[in-house]
Amino acid sequence: MSEMLEERCEDPCEGTLTNSIELLKSEMIPDSTASGLADIFKALGDPTRVKIIYALAQKELCVHDLTQVLDMGQSAISHQLRYLRNLRIVKRRKEGKTVFYSLDDEHVEQIFHQMLQHVKHA
Amino acid sequence: MSEMLEERCEDPCEGTLTNSIELLKSEMIPDSTASGLADIFKALGDPTRVKIIYALAQKELCVHDLTQVLDMGQSAISHQLRYLRNLRIVKRRKEGKTVFYSLDDEHVEQIFHQMLQHVKHA
DNA sequence: CCATCACATGAGCAATTGTTCATATATTGA
DNA sequence: TCAATATATGAACAATTGCTCATGTGATGG
């Protein structure tokens, strides 16, 4: 019944009907979900990590390869790989001294390419 | 033919065949594209902005509404809306004193929801 | 015109981020 | 065992970020 009660009370600015806002508020995304979502997007929100993911989408590569392809220091690459690995976006495979990295989340990879097309088409 | 030439030359660590790396390097994503891609992902990579986008995906809302739904200060919301507007993720519509915001990029909205499902299903 | 409301914006500040530097760990071959 | 190679990691530091506070702008009604 209270859904029918529209219009302002005493205070100004309802924007939209106040009850509707209460409803929206109750159906809001949980904080933990919002943070989890933000964490993955944040991982994709850096040029270096974008390049790493782009390169790994072509083929599995070791750390040294990535330093060549991105023309960056080994330490910087390693730090970013750890970052991406913590979020299960990339995975490792050891072979003797060298460690090969590859993408570990097909869905994220798919979304990455969708956004890439979107940006290129802009 | 050079694709058949595997194995190391004089210097150590090829990871993968050296020529293959040169090829990859030449087919690498341009810096500007990587930055543009990172910029959009970065915009989605913050819990506050995630919540704003989630709310606006339900319906058009004014700034005051968003402060209620997110339980945050008006200034913080305004700053984030400007951020999102600069990237054309949201758009404005003025009606008297109040300004209504809504999503302005269906593709980004679609990707947002895909990632949301992915995170919830994790 | 003036007060009020809705929103925008600049400055400032603490927190986070991405890189470099130095060093640690691990694997291999002599 | 020792040296070399491949990668990982901690500390440090500059740059960026997201918020708050104070104030500015623009529209409305009295």
pLDDT tens digits for range B83-95 = 999 999 999 999 9
Ordered domains of chain A (ranges, CATH) = 46-121 (1.10.10.10)
How far apart (Å, rounded) are the C-alpha atoms in residues B46 and B48?
6
As given in the structure block, the two tokens for residue B28 are 């690498």
Instruction: Kindly state the tokens that stand for A20.
Output: 């509707």
Q: Report residue B102: phi and psi, to 5°.
A: -150, 165
Take residue B6 and report the two structure tokens written for it: 């595997």
CB pairs under 8 A between A and B: 165
User: Which strands sit side by side in the sheet containing B90-95, from one edge to the other?
Assistant: B61-62, B98-103, B90-95
Instruction: Please give the single-letter amino acid code of residue B22.
Output: E
| Mean local confidence (pLDDT), A2-25 | 60
Please check whether residue A104 is in contact with residue A117, taking contact to mean a CB–CB distance below 8 angstroms.
no
Average pLDDT over residues A106-111: 98
Low-confidence ranges of chain B (pLDDT < 70): 1-18
In this predicted structure, the answer to whether residue A18 has a pLDDT above a threshold of 90 is: no
Q: What separation in angstroms does the CA of A18 have from each of A7, A11, A13, B81?
A: 7, 11, 9, 21
Indicate if CB(B35) is under 7 A from strand C.
no
In this complex, do A45 and B42 lie within 8 Å of one another by their Cβ atoms?
Answer: yes
- Per-residue pLDDT band at A14 (split at 50, 70, 90): low
